[in-house]
Structure 1
């Protein structure tokens, strides 16, 4: 059969990959921060303001574009029914992005089809698709820019897509910058349409932040830098790197300092990349872009001590691309290479992600959401305030006004951090007098226990051990094997 007769194989492959993602919806594994974005979208619906607490403007979400997309899905499907359609939308966009990536890398439709499936079931690909974050949209936009802008050379794409990408996440300036530098080095010329697109994108994002929020960058960036600011010595930085590198350059988080699996993966990725770029092939241009971007982003974010694993999802899957190409294009013993990859890496990783998603979904959807649902029933006055961390599930499902410890959704606590960081939590309680406190510590055993006892009463204890049971024995074993969640104490302000 000729190659043209296989032209529909990538389409079948992407449908199969999407259906696999849909099965993961049953795990209810949704990232905490997704609910921040979704509450911002609903705040825009209810108050006409991009914010988190009523009419107060604040860029509580990292992504502006995804807020507007979430807003549209809320308008269409309603607050009770938008989540699954939005997750499906994210999964479909990621899968379309993987198709565009396959077009950049392969000519053979069989290779494209197998690539789409294997690439789509890697753990970071599953998380990008199902966890409700903006990375499905982002991956699609980035791959569309490469395919339509730099392969098909559509000038309008070079002008428009940088703005959409930056409006999704401002840190994508790294991706756009790597493309710009690689393109100059490769083609020995400047694409002025792309330069103009980048300038317009930066101007639009900065202008929107300034004129709407009165700030140059998103509040989320300012809040995290303020709260998580750390000054390390050179030796401490080395130790920090040693303890954390394995969680980001590999696809499997291991509870140990030494992660040999990560070293093997990274070395193999580099060797495959070197092998491929030594060949005379036009796709090397795109291989250089995705490989340099992946390494650059991980190095920058790890150097800034950014521990949130979603920053590393896209780099993780892109770094693995050379491995998939290398295996699929083997001239001899291809079946052995492919079978070995699937049996010893792809399937174990997918199985691990399945267990991880089931356990985490239980800890977040079944457990943490229950705290919000309890408060939603208990407190009918949604103008009451709660101080807690993090600001995802509990505020979303309780509907209460929220002060989070980091200051993502409330700027006033940032002022307390600036004034007296060691005591900012207590000072916020004294000055703001929130009706509810949710803490992973026993405040009645705190050094300021006398104050807490005089002003608050323990309303309810929430314990993860109470959510490890299931009628399904397999699920119960998974919940027990990998308990996910934090014990909390909920305090209510005493009536005076």
Structure 2
């Protein structure tokens, strides 16, 4: 009876962790790119087309499977009410994924429960859960593959889950590849069913892209590569790495080019990993998978100069797993080790993420969203175009057709970038004559100022300083401590 009751403790931990993290919904911190995915889902709902602007097909979202999930949530709850349910759903999926992971690396139910909670309140876990992106779904699928496919040896998991994983994000080929290599090395044989699942997954993802969009690679990948392509010298590569490595491997972004905390964390993670794999436990099989994947994913994306921090959330967590196991399984002074970890790492990280979420949520929801609402109320004709960057909050809440600077949601601009990368912005404005321009810069000053003055008027200036005020003095201090957002100028085209 006691054993049966103890086996449910990790389940209770899942419920408690999800409920605890729901507090972060109050911060209204939702990632800009989530609104791109959700608008694609709503475009599918309204026009029957996976796109962003009416009936034009485009893979504007990085993730296909999450688009369909978002579509279902819009269908069930409606456009006005789906956001909170899907954020809760994402948090639940992530935490169930951490439950699967705990089964792979721990035996004691109480250890699993503490592991689930502590892993769940780290900054990347909070962001995965409540920022609205596809990583809750992805983490769930990846951990389900390890648990059901490689722990329980379920054939369906080895074949079906790789398909779903690759249909969520094509770059998950890195995860599937590392799992394949470690499994082959440990078992000294090829797992044919898993190979079949991988082949099916790649085939489904590429075939869907080709048959529906007429392209093999997602437009988002092509667009980012086209605009962000840089030819760096060796010295520039070194400077780039030293100024960014802390943001990638660490769990928080600190100013400056040297982040000693990240180095300490990395070394401790590595030492804990070495300590654990020397124990010759069965779980080493899974520890090698997640640890090698964490390092490989980080190195590949850093080498490609991928600045977006969400690429590193899952690797950050998986690299930290050996630390949690090491602390939880200490037979001498375990409570002392656990207290030190919570006091000097978990709580500061939780406090940091709380402040970050409140400040960024203010900048995104109270500032950028209101820009979209203003424009949506001002312009009733939703067939008018706006040219801006980024393509999240403002297009979503304004409802206008959108050209984004990168070309994520509009392919035509990519042709302008190919023809004349230096002048593609002004060329797009001249050729397509969007009714609205939203810019970080004052367009009435600079090289093309005369053209803008002749064809556009400034409609409204949006300033971050106007949104870092609050009647609540604590919130105001947080807003001023970490002001979030960028000053914008909104321009409207003059009548010809």
Could you tell me the TM-score, scaled by structure 2's length?
0.99
Q: 1:235-246 alignment to 2 at 5 Å? A: 235-246=235-246
Deviation larger for 193-202 or 8-17: 8-17
Equivalent position of 1:109 in the other structure: 109
Report the CA distance between 1:3 and its aligned residue.
Answer: 4.3
Q: Distance in 1 between matches of 2:495 and 2:416?
A: 25
Equivalent position of 1:307 in the other structure: 307
1:65 maps to 2:65: yes
Q: Distance in 2 between matches of 1:106 and 1:221?
A: 38
Could you list the per-position Cα deviations for residues 376-434 of structure 1 after superposition, in whole angstroms to 9, with x for gaps in the alignment?
A: 00000000000000000000000000000000000000000000000000000000000
Q: 1:121-160 alignment to 2 at 5 Å? A: 121-160=121-160
Report the CA distance between 1:4 and its aligned residue.
Answer: 4.0
Equivalent position of 1:195 in the other structure: 195
Equivalent position of 1:447 in the other structure: 447
Three-state SS of the structure 2 residue aligned to 1:444 is: coil
Q: Is the 8 A contact 1:3 1:108 kept in 2?
A: no
Q: Is the 8 A contact 1:3 1:109 kept in 2?
A: no
List alignment gaps of at least 5 residues for structure 1. none
Equivalent position of 1:274 in the other structure: 274
Three-state SS of the structure 2 residue aligned to 1:492 is: strand
Q: Is the 8 A contact 1:125 1:313 kept in 2?
A: yes
Equivalent position of 1:55 in the other structure: 55
Structure 1 residue runs of 4 or more that deviate by more than 6 Å after TM superposition: none
Report the CA distance between 1:446 and its aligned residue.
Answer: 2.0
Q: Distance in 1 between matches of 2:218 and 2:208?
A: 10
Three-state SS of the structure 2 residue aligned to 1:443 is: coil
Equivalent position of 1:397 in the other structure: 397
Could you list the per-position Cα deviations for residues 329-384 of structure 1 after superposition, in whole angstroms to 9, with x for gaps in the alignment?
A: 00101011000000000000000000000000000000000110000000000000
Could you list the per-position Cα deviations for residues 76-107 of structure 1 after superposition, in whole angstroms to 9, with x for gaps in the alignment?
A: 00000000000000000000000000000111
Q: Distance in 1 between matches of 2:473 and 2:436?
A: 36
Equivalent position of 2:461 in the other structure: 461
1:98 maps to 2:94: no
Task: Give the aligned length.
Answer: 496
Report the CA distance between 1:176 and its aligned residue.
Answer: 0.2
List alignment gaps of at least 5 residues for structure 2. none
Q: Distance in 2 between matches of 1:100 and 1:200?
A: 24
Equivalent position of 1:296 in the other structure: 296
Q: Distance in 2 between matches of 1:357 and 1:5?
A: 36
Equivalent position of 1:39 in the other structure: 39
Q: 1:177-326 alignment to 2 at 5 Å? A: 177-326=177-326
CA RMSD, Structure 1 to Structure 2 (Å): 0.7
Q: Distance in 1 between matches of 2:5 and 2:283?
A: 24
Could you list the per-position Cα deviations for residues 155-189 of structure 1 after superposition, in whole angstroms to 9, with x for gaps in the alignment?
A: 11101000000000000000000000011111101
Could you list the per-position Cα deviations for residues 9-45 of structure 1 after superposition, in whole angstroms to 9, with x for gaps in the alignment?
A: 1111111110121000000000000000000000001
Could you tell me the TM-score, scaled by structure 1's length?
0.99
Q: Distance in 1 between matches of 2:446 and 2:381?
A: 29
Report the CA distance between 1:2 and its aligned residue.
Answer: 5.2
Report the CA distance between 1:319 and its aligned residue.
Answer: 0.5
Q: Distance in 2 between matches of 1:265 and 1:2?
A: 38
Q: Distance in 1 between matches of 2:5 and 2:133?
A: 37
Report the CA distance between 1:5 and its aligned residue.
Answer: 3.6
Q: Distance in 1 between matches of 2:237 and 2:6?
A: 51
